[in-house]
Chains A and B, each alone.
Chain A
């Protein structure tokens, strides 16, 4: 039985035309881009320009999203969400009004696809970009709320992370407007649903975890334990673990703190890889081409030149033995 109580929304075919009631703009539907809880998004042509149009019969929800997009415009010099181009109504032949708004069409790849194609090392870097954007958003007094993998795309070149659905954006201090269970700290028993910067940082950590658990996982009877165990046992996340742990447990109160920690970890990987010290074993799981030499010398070896020379002598001696035997 398919019938849900969801009232049948409207759907458009390619070639349909939406005329604005107030601003008299004309939009020709090209294709559907997506469908969410509030309305559908279509790719449209407006005077030869490609734009994204979101239309819904839930007028009030559309208006609230428009309000959020408008506040984004106010954040100067920073392109947080897609920019807002038009807000209007469309009246269907029966006289029923539908609210819609038009935004810039961001052409990009989904975050998960991008990482799969371009390499794991991009994850940390894109997350730094995201932390930058979150910092500006938080400074304006807002949190993103419904931060999740599906709401992020990567535009390029150069690769840049952008968010596309801003419906959950909430003023700091209020209750989160919209969320997705897997990314919600309330669901994991790890905090409230009050809009504060740490709420977004939890979700960001979950995005990183999810990229290695694409099918997500159940919370079980002890949600917090389940989650922290998953974090520990995901070898690819070893590098980020201390940072993610702090984000999940709400230790960061601002995105700047997390950005600092994360960039330190990312830089560390670079420098340690150059030295081939023990501490890179954490990182080698991450790099696509692990160190070809199987030596796993401990740090002490490096600190004891005597031992090192002794090792070299032994190896040379062994080679000499082989030489003697094979001759």
Chain B
């Protein structure tokens, strides 16, 4: 099996969108394009926030083929990395399952196999998860209510980069915030292998009132395309986006 690059959008938000298209629909579209959408809903410590906003968190991740989790601020660091890793395993397992179906027939999947064989296959999945390349676009909700959660988000993202960079495979991260000043999203950090440099950029985020989650997701989706365009422009011999090896 050829090793590709896993693409993920990690949406960190605290409530419901109130502008533009349905974020779940956009997530489904992203999933079609091979981009997994994970969502983390952040709660305030003493919060009893509107649960309908939290329902959206699960919905977006489900249509985006990803993982969702709702957490209190303090648990954010660990959650960010668990969600990212879980989603990777999930995606890879999906790929492996596809291959299995081709070999074993449409009715067989990983769960249908006896435990012994399942173990061997999971080893392969784990190997892939360790060695594949990963691209994560972090999309941070900076609407007014998120304001005092942002320092924790920053910490969690640095922590994510520590965890991911312990892997054998390579990583690229980029960070966008929404709502943007003029556009749907603003770039905080362009694609880079590490996140330690963000401390200086992050506090500059300004918080606004609206939460256009749908349009922001859509815009985020294009950032993968843009980058790969640029990359394929630089390396004309490798037009395939999936190609990761240099």
Contacts and interface: CB of A to CB of B under 8 A. Distances in A.
A186 B130 CA distance: 18
A67 B68 CA distance: 27
A63 B163 contact: no
Interface in B62-94: 68-71, 77-78, 82, 89, 93
A59 B116 CA distance: 13
Given A5-B69, A67-B122, A174 B48 contact: no
Nearest to B167: A175
Contacts of B89: 60
A99 B113 CA distance: 12
A4 B70 contact: yes
Interface in A265-279: none
B209 interface: no
Interface string B95-120: 00000000000000011001110110
A45 interface: no
Given A99-B115, A175-B130, A5 B58 contact: yes
Contact of B165 (A97, A99, A173, A192): A192
Nearest to A171: B130
A64 B69 CA distance: 22
A262 B87 CA distance: 42
Given A59-B111, A186-B163, A64 B122 contact: yes
B220 interface: no
B166 A193 contact: yes
A111 interface: no
Contacts of A133: none
Interface in B158-174: 159, 162-168
Contact of B115 (A22, A174, A181, A193): A22
Nearest to A99: B115
A66 interface: yes
Contacts of B179: none
B123 A67 contact: yes
B111 A22 contact: no
Nearest to A194: B166
Contacts of A173: 168
Nearest to A175: B166
A176 interface: yes
A193 B163 contact: yes
B115 A67 contact: no
Interface residues of B, number: 37
A66 B123 CA distance: 11
B114 A60 contact: no
Contact of B167 (A66, A67, A174): A174
A176 B125 CA distance: 16
A1 interface: yes
Contacts of B57: 5
Of A3, A59, A63, A181, chain B has the most CB atoms within 10 Å of the CB of: A63
B200 interface: no
B32 to A, nearest CB: 24
Interface in B107-166: 110-111, 114-116, 118-119, 122-123, 125-126, 130, 159, 162-166
Contact of A181 (B77, B110, B125, B126): B77
Interface string A12-37: 00000000001000000000000001
B41 interface: yes
Of B58, B82, B122, B123, chain A has the most CB atoms within 10 Å of the CB of: B122
Contacts of A181: 77-78
Contacts of A176: 163, 166
B52 interface: no
A89 interface: yes
B70 A63 contact: no
Interface string B195-227: 000000000000000000000000000000000
A181 to B, nearest CB: 6
B168 to A, nearest CB: 7
A88 interface: yes
A67 B111 CA distance: 16
Interface in A189-213: 192-195
Nearest to A4: B70
A4 B125 CA distance: 28
Contacts of A299: none
A114 to B, nearest CB: 28
A37 B86 CA distance: 12
Contact of B162 (A6, A64, A192, A195): A192
Nearest to B72: A4
Contacts of A64: 122, 126
Top 10 closest A-B pairs, CB basis? A175-B166, A193-B166, A5-B70, A87-B115, A63-B122, A194-B166, A175-B167, A186-B162, A5-B69, A174-B130
18 contacts: A1-B49, A4-B71, A5-B68, A5-B71, A6-B69, A22-B115, A59-B110, A59-B111, A60-B89, A60-B93, A60-B110, A67-B119, A175-B163, A176-B166, A186-B159, A186-B166, A187-B77, A195-B166
Interface of B: 41, 47-49, 51, 54, 57-58, 68-71, 77-78, 82, 89, 93, 110-111, 114-116, 118-119, 122-123, 125-126, 130, 159, 162-168
